[in-house]
Amino acid sequence: MEIITSKNNPAVVAAAKLSDKKYREKTQTFAFEGIKLFREAFSAGARFVRVFVTEDAYTKYGEALSALSEGVLTVVSDAVYEKLSFERAPQGIFCVAEYFSVRTSAQASFVILLDGVADPGNFGAVLRSAEAFGVDTVYMGKDGADFYNPKTVRACMGSLFRTDVRRSDDLVREIENLQREGFRIFATALDPRSRDIREVDFSGKIGFVIGNEGHGVSAEALAACDGTVIIPMCEGPESLNAAVASSIVMWEAARNRI
């Protein structure tokens, strides 16, 4: 197989641009690295545009990569791979795939809504927990993290390829739509009137709004919710990281719903 050794190769240049959100949106493609994410994406039916591999990676993972369509797999020199890679310790597999979406086939009864959660690592961690604890759909409000940021894709450990995650430009309207479908929606908020999360009735259709680490849930979203809940903590810290808070809420809901 021919090995690309030029960093100016058009396919390499295009793939390297996928670190930029505007270019991802323009091409409706994104990039991720490593054999695990490749296998997760392949199993989920992702449509690969290109998969760049080093010679060492091709030797090591050639059998798994052989399932790719003709013309997708591209061997590159180590120097070329360095131009592509986002990782500090790359495995030598750089994948370019079309935007991917999952829609749950069953009727949703457990949802998470993220209000202003902008950090892609936190967002990826939320998706990973959402899959683990049986969340049907995750809604991301405006100004939230990009679904296809390399940090998001890496942090979610493949959950992006199996989780129904949706962008909502109007989270208040989303909350109201869910309420019309019979959902009770609670916001996590540091308020003396908030109910202890352990006292919530988790039966039926239910959802939780998780806010930005710095500002919490917006006033508009709070007003639209059926109530607020709080995670009891020791004195000292004012709040939890958004990914940690959402994981605790999801675990508590899953524990009571199972």
Tell whether 55 is covered by a domain.
Answer: yes
Same domain? 68 vs 14? yes
CA 232/CA 188 separation, integer angstroms: 11
Reported as a single tens digit per residue, the pLDDT across 159-168 is 999 999 999 9
Q: Which residue segment(s) compose the domain that 61 sits in?
A: 3-98
Same domain? 9 vs 36? yes
CA 156/CA 127 separation, integer angstroms: 6
Reported as a single tens digit per residue, the pLDDT across 57-71 is 999 998 899 889 888
Q: Tell me the CATH number at 22.
A: 3.30.1330.30
Tell whether 86 is covered by a domain.
Answer: yes
Q: How many helices (H) and strands (E) does the chain have?
A: 10, 12
Name the domain boundary from 61, 76, 98: 98
Same domain? 94 vs 26? yes
Least confident of 11-15, 104-108, 150-154: 104-108
Q: Is the predicted pLDDT of residue 98 greater than 70, yes or no? A: yes
Same domain? 84 vs 141? no
Helix/strand/coil (H/E/C) assignment for every residue in 6-53 = CCCCHHHHHHHHHHCHHHHHHHCEEEEECHHHHHHHHHHCCCEEEEEE
pLDDT score at 29:
97
Tell whether 28 is covered by a domain.
Answer: yes
Same domain? 249 vs 161? yes
Name the domain boundary from 30, 63, 98: 98
- Binned at pLDDT 50, 70 and 90, residue 105 comes out as low
Same domain? 77 vs 118? no
Tell whether 23 is covered by a domain.
Answer: yes
Name the domain boundary from 65, 98, 131: 98
The average pLDDT across 112-138 equals 94
Same domain? 239 vs 180? yes
Tell whether 105 is covered by a domain.
Answer: no
Same domain? 82 vs 155? no
Same domain? 118 vs 173? yes
Same domain? 26 vs 114? no
pTM: 0.89
Tell whether 103 is covered by a domain.
Answer: no
Q: Tell me the CATH number at 132.
A: 3.40.1280.10
Same domain? 121 vs 63? no
CA 171/CA 50 separation, integer angstroms: 35
Which of residues 194 and 31 earns the better pLDDT score?
Answer: 31
pLDDT score at 174:
96
pLDDT score at 89:
74
The average pLDDT across 93-118 equals 89
Same domain? 54 vs 121? no
The average pLDDT across 168-194 equals 92
Tell whether 104 is covered by a domain.
Answer: no
Structural domain count, the chain: 2
- Binned at pLDDT 50, 70 and 90, residue 231 comes out as confident
